[in-house]
Amino acid sequence: MLTDTSPPADFSYDMAQDGAGLPARVAIYGEDAALRKQIAADLGGAGFRTIDGGSIAALIEGPIALLGDVVLVDCPVAGSRGMDGLMLAGLARLDMRVARSGAKLIVSTNLAGLDDVFAVLDQSTPQILVDPGRAERIVAVARTMGEAGAARVRELAEEDRLTLLRLSQQVEAIARSLDRISRPDPRAARPIDSVRRDTPGMAGVSAKGFVTPAGQPPLPDPRVVRQVIANRQARARFFDAELFGDPAWDMLLDLTAAHGEGVQVSVTSLCIAAGVPATTALRWLTQMVETGLFVRVPDPSDRRRAFIALSDRSLTAMAGYFASLRGPVTLAA
């Protein structure tokens, strides 16, 4: 755990402004007081005003007073058991309050808590960070402030959203590089695709009621799609994997194969399939949901789970894509 509260020189900027021209405010919540202090120091060095909101219990036990333009909550999970019901209820309550107030929410967690956090945060369109470094948190706050300012001026077109998403991906990559330089951490540098898809709790669940839209070309055998995915992943054995980062396409392929196999895909599993850091994958996943390419599928038996699937529009597009390929699409010998 970091104990040095002095912000790195790289994080010193002019005073940040919110959309009204006032110094931006960030309310910080989390169980680790030392980490809250560290985050406040880093954000202060970047020009943001911060408020120490205290422990997460303050969000659960008492009335929620949103003290900032941005509410940043740190809620990692120990082990692989997921979050308890009280914690999830508090996050869901916060999510609804933030959505109504017009504030912005950033939640940081780890892979063990990702599915639970994603499932309950469905109102405020929050940013979810997975095992973020110090620089990544600053980037997330700055990005949130920038998006809020742009939204006040005009509604972002889809092309603008994608441009901002790609720019954010580049900035986050720089932030992770800075973190590795200043504080080597094998866990922080670990690519998301190093986690096995068959990790307990991440496996697909049998799907029910998934019907291919009528009138579209048939999708290929899911084994063919899995072969395409395997071929793409094989490139990393011979070249730097960052040369081929294409999380949107990798997620589309993974969901196409899952549809044919009759399984549902968890958020964590889909982020692993994207082959990029989980925070980056989540940004793309959120964008794909907002544009109607992906759909959230609630688990009726467990509110703490939400699956991701292709929309009818995407199923039609993927079927058309494979039908347009020259030559038959078959399994490799």
Helical residues (DSSP H) of the chain, grouped into ranges: 33-45, 57-61, 85-101, 111-120, 134-153, 158-182, 186-189, 222-234, 247-261, 267-274, 278-290, 312-324
pLDDT, residue 257, reads: 95
Q: How confident is the model over 305-324, as a mean pLDDT?
A: 90
256 — pLDDT class (breaks 50, 70, 90): very high
Kindly report the number of other CB atoms within 10 A of residue 162's CB atom: 15
Which of 84-93, 252-261, 292-301 is predicted most confidently? Answer: 252-261
pLDDT tens digits along 108-164 = 999 988 998 899 898 888 999 999 988 889 888 888 877 655 443 344 455 555 555
pLDDT, residue 302, reads: 78
Domain residue ranges in the chain: 9-186, 195-324
Is 62 a residue whose pLDDT tops 70? no
pTM for the model: 0.69
CATH class of 195-324: mainly alpha
Architecture category of domain 9-186 in CATH: 3-Layer(aba) Sandwich (3.40)
Kindly report the number of other CB atoms within 10 A of residue 210's CB atom: 15
Cα–chain-centroid distance for residue 152?
A: 24
Average pLDDT over the chain reads 74
pLDDT tens digits along 165-198 = 555 555 455 445 545 545 544 443 334 443 334 3
3-class state of residue 310 by DSSP: strand
312 — pLDDT class (breaks 50, 70, 90): very high
pLDDT, residue 163, reads: 52
pLDDT, residue 161, reads: 52
**Please, are residues 177 and 285 in contact by the beta-carbon 8 Å criterion?**
no
